[in-house]
Amino acid sequence: MSNVTIYHNPACGTSRNTLAMIRNSGEEPIVIEYLNEPPSRETLSRLIADAELTVREALRVKGTPYDELGLDDPKWTDEQLLDFIGKHPILMNRPFVVTPLGTRLCRPSEAVLDILPRPQQGAYTKEDGQVVVDAEGRRV
């Protein structure tokens, strides 16, 4: 069983790039498509805490009901924000990656390189053409 888990949205370029870099390290991660299998409240709280984020920092604004729900209002507590994410999993920013070296919200996607247990096995270029890893597996 893999020791790397990604909370993934296949429609998201950042999430796809992160998954590809995990695989480029020779790791086949556990892939949780969180829109289909949302994490429990406990798991979500742990992911956010382990990534050293606030609940607000873990919220996604773009392409979500964030504005319609008025989530920019400081009146919402962390507990209430977690409730909103539970009702609307798209509000969870992505991708979260968990490895033995830590938990990160991998935005930008190359943040995953800091927590992968194994080095990159070769070159990697993001979908937008940005070279992230050279042919020797070194971060550019």
Active site residues: 12
The b-or-e profile of 59-71 (16+ CB within 10 A means b, else e) is bbeeebebeeeeb
Place of tokens 């382990």: 50
Q: 78-87 and 41-50 are packed helices; what angle lies between their axes, rounded to 10 degrees?
A: 120
With residue 125 as reference, give the H or E element that holds it: strand 124-125
